[in-house]
Amino acid sequence: MNNNWKKLIVALDLDKRSEIEKAIDIFAPKGVKFKIGSIAFTKFGPDFVKGLIDQGIDIFLDLKLYDIPNTMARTSSVIAELGCWAFTVHLYSGREALGAVKEAVAKTAEKMKKARPLILGVSVLTSSEATKSEIHDLVRQADYVGLEGVISSANDVKEIKKDFPKLKVITPGIRNPLDQKGDQKRIATASIAFANGADYIVVGRPIIEKNDYLKAAEEIIRG
Ligand code: C5P
């Protein structure tokens, strides 16, 4: 279980700063990473994110960019300037936009002398159904452009790793059998995700909707 803390990304889908701080105090010393998505980013903004990064916390900025190539590239440069550990783009945005993002991130990181954030492509949201070939075609774009990884359901990890071994796979939709599914459709336990080869799991509500975040996270990563 100890090793699995380093493969856990807690989704800070919270709009109360005190709850975000509580999660960080509990999990940061264990080497856990944190995902800031549209809820916390819209509420607290980039200065808040920068403050966390400056404390040495690994932030995965999950804004799921999906726009024209110029807008995606320029937004990605700003994200690289912030110094995030990783961020997401929609693979549906296509090769031209994804290539522009890759180039913009490399240039900005070099200019700022910062580590390049990992660019992670969202295939199909785990709250939607998807066919294997739909996922394969999208992930192939990520591999072709040279993104570092993709976000995919635990059930697709094995095939992605077989067909595209260079890509990291990050898996949301993690639930224990007694957890509420919520809006997620393609779910699995953490142990299934890891057994299938997931590099990281992303977990939000099964942890942040409980009072005891630590106990909830222990139950999740024990699977
Ligand atoms: O609360 P829950 O564990 O379902 O949270 C999963 C997190 O992962 C949410 O922040 C959601 O936005 C994100 N996510 C997802 N499916 C994707 C990509 C990201 O659920 N394909």
| Per-residue pLDDT reduced to its tens digit, 127-176 | 777 888 999 999 999 999 999 999 999 999 999 999 999 999 999 999 99
Strand pairing category for 59-65 and 33-37: parallel
Q: Whose CA is nearest to atom 20 of ligand 1?
A: 172
Q: Is 21 part of any domain?
A: no
pLDDT grade for 2, boundaries at 50, 70 and 90: low
61 lies in some domain: no
Report yes or no on 38 lying in a domain: no
Contact 64, 90 (CB under 8 A): yes
Q: Which of 64, 161, 185, 210 is catalytic?
A: 64
Query: If you measure from the C-alpha of residue 71 to the centroid of ligand 1, how many angstroms do you get, rounded to a whole number?
Result: 24
List the residue whose alpha carbon is closest to atom 18 of ligand 1.
125
More confident residue, 49 or 123: 49
Range of the domain at 80: 67-222
Report the nearest-CA residue for atom 13 of ligand 1.
172
| Angle at CA of residue 91, ends 87 and 96, nearest 5° | 100
In a domain, 201, yes or no: yes
Query: Residue 90 forms beta bridges with which residues?
Result: 122
Q: 160 alpha carbon to ligand 1 midpoint, in Å?
A: 19
Three-state secondary structure readout of the chain: CHHHHHHEEEECCCCCHHHHHHHHHHHHHHCCEEEEEHHHHHHHHHHHHHHHHHCCCCEEEEEEECCCHHHHHHHHHHHHHHCCCEEEEEHHHCHHHHHHHHHHHHHHHHHHCCCCCEEEEECCCCCCCCCHHHHHHHHHHHHHHCCCEEECCHHHHHHHHHHCCCCEEEECCECCCCCCCCCCCCCECHHHHHHCCCCEEEECHHHHCCCCHHHHHHHHHHC
Question: Is 139 inside any structural domain?
Answer: yes
Q: State both tokens at 170.
A: 């990050």
Confidence of residue 79 (pLDDT cuts 50, 70, 90): very high
Question: Which atom of ligand 1 lies nearest, measured to the CA of 209?
Answer: 1
Region 55-84 average pLDDT: 97
Q: What is the value of pTM for the model shown?
A: 0.96
Q: Which pLDDT band, with edges at 50, 70 and 90, does 1 fall under? A: low
- Residue 160: give its domain's CATH number: 3.20.20.70
**Residue 208 belongs to a domain:** yes
**CA of residue 144 relative to chain centroid, distance:** 20
State the average pLDDT over residues 74-85: 97
What is the per-residue pLDDT across 164-190, written as a single tens digit (0 to 9) for each?
999 999 999 999 998 888 888 889 999
On whether residue 29 sits in a domain, the answer given is no
Q: Which positions ≥6 away from 19 have C-beta within 8 Å?
A: 208
Q: List own/partner pairs for 77-80 with CB under 8 A and 24 or more apart.
A: 77/104, 77/105, 77/107, 77/108, 78/46, 79/105, 79/117, 80/104, 80/105, 80/108, 80/109, 80/112, 80/114, 80/116, 80/117
Per the structure, the count of domains in the chain is 1
Residue 64 among the catalytic residues: yes
Q: Are the beta carbons of 88 and 41 closer than 8 angstroms?
A: no
Residue 184 lies in a domain: yes
